[in-house]
């Protein structure tokens, strides 16, 4: 009797049906890498690549860590740069409209079922939330400037009692060390020996995302020590973390150009305000003594007038009277003016080049120039609320600040729970969430607007479906209508189209909108 081939065929297991078996994947994707040889790296005209490529060239050449931080410190003190960074930080953090609180520590839904976890979260929030709200803005601002920010954590048997973010832990004073991508310790350049060692229970770090590489010298030495082929994270060598992550790095050139053009404009105005005259003295028939006395008298007169004007400017006083000087004359001896004031620089000064570089600078940081006191630069096509939407754009660029700050606060909470409860929660099992009060920030307001638009769209869709159903549309017609006219995905349209099979309740309890509020048979009753 013949046997069916289907019965002889072994069905694949569940895991095999879901993907490629591990051995096959290894042979297809891992083993070919062993065929790569050193000679292959410079064949086919590709040339030789070395770590020197990370040192940069031209305007973006390598600098020392101190030079990089000095440049960012200089930029931080600029009015335009500082205002842009403050706006980004404010957009990211927001703040409660009455008490100004920024950070809130809340229990996760999974932990809400365990009274012990709820108690831990509530006690921790009571102790740490005031500290977080105090240091949040300063820490986020410094992190945006330097790419890193640090807080010295002070603890006792109760947990974390304070976090210091003063000038002694500014990024130029701290060198973090990493194993892989994990921070394991810090070298702080203070004290008598200019070196203090701290571990991760003594200091917390805000690390901004390294989206751009900042060329610096230390990368060569780092490449010689790093074990790139080591798979065990704990076996990796201890390496210093490179400077980077600052929001100012890509704005350095724009900042220099802006300062140069602004200085040129100011210098031109200074030159235009200078009133310089060359005066000749007629002393042909004077004796030597008369010439000396006459010259000294004229020089003294000009010095006295200059002193009067300088004193008035310094003390903020006006000169309400005419300054009169008496000059003795001898026969035909008189003053002869050879040249008058130079008026060549009194013409109108163009500021277009200054504004171009100001726009480039603010745009490089991620903030529109109209948000920094130049409201006249706001684009006219944005319509009503255009100024708000521009601020929302700035808030989108501040997302990484909020994420990095939340990571730092989680580090501090881990230190607190270790000292107080003797446990450090796994990252995925933490019973708390770090949330920021952002309802007054442009980002959250834009999210609320998007949510409101989605709800209105959903209500309009529900009304359209009800109208089509009342007109007797079949399931096929409904699916076609939702796909072609309402622009829904095909699978979603088919799901919604099944509602035509549901019969309307003639008494208003089910399918139509006659029940609801005020109905005795609906969900809410207006009576007692």
pLDDT per position as a tens digit, 258-306:
999 988 888 777 766 666 666 777 777 778 888 888 888 888 888 888 8
Q: Which residue has the higher pLDDT, 475 or 330?
A: 475
Query: Is the pLDDT reported for residue 444 higher than 70?
Result: no
pLDDT of 508 > 90? The answer is no
pLDDT value of residue 329 = 60
Work out the pLDDT band at 527, boundaries 50, 70, 90: very low
Mean pLDDT, rounded, of the chain: 81
Residue pointed to by tokens 């976090």: 163
Query: Which of residues 510 and 349 earns the better pLDDT score?
Result: 349
Judge whether 413 and 432 are in contact, CB under 8 Å: yes
- Tens of pLDDT, residue by residue over 416-434, are 999 999 999 999 999 999 9
Whole-number Å distance between alpha carbons of 397 and 368: 11
Query: Alpha carbon 341 to chain centroid distance?
Result: 50
Distances (CA, A) of 81 to 72, 87, 214, 297, 348: 10, 10, 19, 52, 28
Residues 6+ apart with CB under 8 A from 406: 434, 436
Q: Cα angle vertex 385, ends 380, 390, to 5°?
A: 70
d(CA 159, CA 418): 8
Query: What is the tens place of the pLDDT at every residue in 475-500?
Result: 999 999 999 998 899 889 999 999 98
Q: Is pLDDT at 412 greater than 90 in this prediction?
A: yes
Position 522 scores a pLDDT of: 42
Closest alpha carbon to 279 in 340, 337, 326, 333? 337
518 confidence band (pLDDT: 50, 70, 90): very low
Residue 15 reports pLDDT greater than 50: yes
Does the structure show a pLDDT above 50 at 512? no
> Which pLDDT value is given to residue 437?
73
Please give the C-alpha separations between residue 229 and each of 34, 237, 249, in angstroms, as whole numbers: 13, 12, 31
Q: Is the pLDDT of residue 525 over 60?
A: no
pLDDT tens, residue by residue, 16-50: 666 778 888 888 888 888 888 877 777 766 667 77
- pLDDT score at 510: 47
Confidence of residue 387 (pLDDT cuts 50, 70, 90): low
Residue 148 has pLDDT above 90, yes or no: yes
In this predicted structure, the answer to whether residue 220 has a pLDDT above a threshold of 90 is no
Of 409 and 219, the one with more pLDDT: 409
- Indicate the pLDDT class of residue 203, thresholds 50, 70 and 90: very high
Percent of the chain with pLDDT over 90: 40
Supply the pTM of this predicted model.
Answer: 0.74
Q: Is the pLDDT of residue 136 over 60?
A: yes
pLDDT range class, residue 326, cuts 50, 70, 90: low
The residue to which tokens 């890509």 are assigned: 250
Residues 475 and 483: their CA atoms lie apart, in Å, by 12
CA pseudo-torsion sign 342, 348, 353, 358: positive
pLDDT the model gives residue 519 = 43
Token pair recorded at residue 518: 């005020």
pLDDT of residue 72: 97
Given a cut of 60, is residue 388 above it in pLDDT? no
| DSSP β-bridge partners for residue 37 | none
3-state secondary structure at position 158: coil
Which residues pair with residue 188 across a beta bridge? 174, 196
- Between 191 and 150, the higher pLDDT residue: 150
Query: Highest mean pLDDT range out of 158-172, 394-408, 442-456?
Result: 158-172
- Single out the residue of 202, 145, 122 nearest to residue 404, CA to CA: 145
DSSP 8-state assignment for residue 207: E
Residue 368 half-sphere exposure toward CB, CA atoms < 13 A = 19
Q: What is the pLDDT of residue 448?
A: 75
| Model pLDDT, residue 144 | 94
Average pLDDT over residues 65-93: 91
Residue 520 confidence (pLDDT):
44
């Amino acid at each position: 009797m013949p046997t069916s081939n289907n019965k002889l065929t072994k069905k694949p297991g569940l895991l095999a049906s879901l993907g490629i078996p591990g051995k096959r994947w290894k042979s297809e994707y891992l083993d070919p890498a062993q065929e790569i040889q050193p000679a292959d790296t410079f064949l086919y005209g590709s040339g030789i690549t070395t770590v020197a490529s990370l040192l940069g060239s031209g305007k973006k050449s390598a600098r020392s860590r101190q030079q990089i931080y000095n440049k960012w410190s200089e930029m931080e003190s600029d009015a335009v740069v500082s205002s842009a960074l403050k706006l980004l930080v404010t957009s990211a953090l927001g703040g409660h409209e009455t008490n100004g609180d920024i950070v809130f520590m809340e229990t996760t839904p999974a932990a809400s079922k365990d009274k012990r976890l709820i108690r831990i979260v509530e006690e921790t929030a009571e102790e740490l939330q005031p500290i977080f709200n105090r240091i949040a803005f300063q820490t986020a601002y410094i992190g945006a400037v330097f790419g890193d920010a640090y807080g010295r954590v002070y603890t006792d048997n109760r947990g974390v009692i304070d976090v210091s973010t003063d000038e002694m832990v500014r990024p130029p004073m701290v060198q973090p060390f990493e194993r892989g991508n994990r921070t394991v310790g810090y070298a702080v350049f203070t004290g008598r020996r200019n070196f203090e060692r701290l571990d991760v229970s003594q200091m917390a770090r805000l690390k901004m995302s390294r989206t751009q590489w900042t060329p610096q010298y230390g990368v060569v030495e780092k490449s010689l020590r790093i074990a790139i082929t080591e798979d065990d994270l704990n076996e990796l060598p201890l390496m210093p973390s490179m400077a980077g992550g600052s929001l100012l790095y890509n704005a350095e050139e724009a900042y220099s150009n802006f300062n140069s053009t602004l200085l040129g404009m100011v210098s031109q105005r200074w030159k235009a305000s200078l009133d310089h005259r060359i005066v000749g003295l007629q002393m042909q028939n004077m004796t030597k003594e008369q010439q000396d006395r006459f010259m000294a008298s004229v020089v003294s007169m000009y010095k006295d007038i200059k002193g009067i004007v300088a004193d008035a400017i310094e003390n903020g006083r006006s000169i309400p009277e005419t300054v009169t000087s008496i000059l003795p004359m001898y026969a035909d001896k008189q003053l002869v003016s050879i040249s008058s004031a130079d008026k060549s620089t009194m013409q109108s000064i163009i500021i277009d080049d200054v504004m171009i570089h100001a726009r480039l600078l603010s745009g490089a940081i991620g903030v529109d120039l109209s948000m920094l006191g130049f409201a006249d630069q706001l684009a006219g096509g944005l319509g009503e609320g255009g100024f708000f939407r521009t601020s929302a754009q700035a808030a989108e660029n501040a997302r990484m600040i909020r994420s990095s700050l939340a990571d730092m606060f989680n580090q501090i909470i881990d230190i607190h729970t270790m000292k107080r409860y003797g446990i450090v929660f796994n990252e995925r099992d933490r019973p708390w969430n770090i949330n920021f009060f952002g309802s007054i920030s442009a980002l959250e307001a834009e999210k609320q607007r998007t949510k409101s638009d989605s709800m209105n769209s959903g209500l309009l869709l529900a009304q359209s479906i009800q109208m089509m159903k009342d007109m007797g549309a079949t399931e096929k017609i409904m699916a076609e209508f939702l796909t072609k006219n309402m622009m829904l995905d095909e699978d979603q349209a088919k799901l919604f189209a099944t509602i035509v099979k549901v019969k309307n309740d003639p008494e208003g309890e089910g399918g139509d909108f006659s029940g609801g509020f005020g109905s005795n048979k609906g969900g809410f009753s207006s009576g007692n």
